[in-house]
Amino acid sequence: MNNMPSNAEKYLRMEKMPHIWCPGCGNGIVLSALVRAFHKLNYDQDQTVIVSGIGCSSRASGYLDFNTLHSTHGRALAFATGIKLARPEVNVFVLMGDGDASSIGGNHLIHAARRNIDLTVVIFNNSIYGMTGGQYSPLTPQDNRATTAPYGTFERPFDLVELVKAAGATYIARGTTYHSAMLTKLIITGASHKGFSVIEAVTACPVSYGRRNKMGGGYDMLMWQKEHGVPIEKSRYLKPEEMKGKFLIGELHKSEAPEYTEVYQQLIDRVRGPIKGE
Partner 1 sequence: MNNVVPLTRLMQGNEAIAEGALAAGARFFAGYPITPSTEIAEILAEKLPAVGGKFIQMEDEIASMAAIIGASLAGLKSITATSGPGFSLKQENLGFAAITEVPCVVVNVQRYGPSTGIPTASAQGDIMQARWGTHGDHPAIALSPASVQEAFSLTVQAFNLAERFRTPVILLADEVIGHMRERFVMPDASDINVIDRKKPPAGLTRYYPYKPDEDGVPPMANFCEGYRYHVTGLVHDESGGPTTKADQAERLIKRLNDKIMDHLDEITMTESLMTEDAEIIIVACGAVSRSARRAVKQARKEGIKAGLFRLISVWPFPDKEIKALSRQARSIIVPEMNLGQLIGEVERVVRSETKVSGINRVTGEMITPDEILNAIKSEI
Ligand X SMILES: Cc1ncc(C[n+]2csc(CCOP(=O)(O)OP(=O)(O)O)c2C)c(N)n1
Distance of alpha carbon 258 from alpha carbon 118, whole angstroms? 10
What are the beta bridge partners of residue 98? none
* Distance of closest approach, residue 130 Cβ to ligand SF4, in angstroms: 3
Q: Is 267 in the site for partner 1 (CB under 8 A)?
A: yes
Q: Binders of ligand X: how many residues, by CB under 6 A?
A: 17
Distance of alpha carbon 109 from alpha carbon 38, whole angstroms? 23
* Distance of closest approach, residue 62 Cβ to ligand X, in angstroms: 13
Q: Is 69 in the site for partner 1 (CB under 8 A)?
A: yes
Closest by alpha carbon to 105, among 95, 92, 90, 115? Answer: 95
The interface with ligand X within residues 109-128 (CB under 6 A) comprises 124, 126, 128
Of positions 8, 85, 230, 257, contacts partner 1 by CB under 8 A: 85
Of positions 43, 72, 144, 224, contacts partner 1 by CB under 8 A: 72
Cis peptide, bond prior to residue 18, ω within 30 of zero: yes
What letter would DSSP give residue 192?
H
- Report the sign of the C-alpha dihedral through residues 10, 172, 249, 73, in that order: positive
What are the beta bridge partners of residue 174? 200, 250
Of positions 208, 213, 225, 261, contacts ligand SF4 by CB under 6 A: 208
The DSSP code sequence of 63-107 is HBSSEEEE--TT-HHHHHHHHHHH-TTSEEEEEEEHHIIIIITHH
**Pair 131, 140: CB distance under 8 Å:** no
* Distance of closest approach, residue 250 Cβ to partner 1, in angstroms: 30
Of positions 116, 137, 153, 170, contacts ligand X by CB under 6 A: 137
Of positions 48, 52, 57, 170, contacts ligand X by CB under 6 A: 57
**Pair 73, 59: CB distance under 8 Å:** no
Report the residue number, 241 or 278, with the smaller CB distance to partner 1.
278
Q: Out of partner 1, ligand SF4, ligand X, none, which partner does residue 13 contact, by CB within 5 to 8 A per kind?
A: partner 1
* Distance of closest approach, residue 190 Cβ to ligand SF4, in angstroms: 22
Stretch that binds ligand SF4, among 10-18, 69-77, 126-134, 149-157 (CB under 6 A): 126-134
Q: Out of ligand SF4, partner 1, ligand X, none, which partner does residue 137 contact, by CB within 5 to 8 A per kind?
A: ligand X
Distance of alpha carbon 224 from alpha carbon 214, whole angstroms? 12
Residues interacting with partner 1, by CB under 8 A?
A: 13, 16, 45-49, 51, 54, 61-62, 65-72, 75, 78-83, 85-87, 90, 107-108, 111, 264, 267-268, 271-272
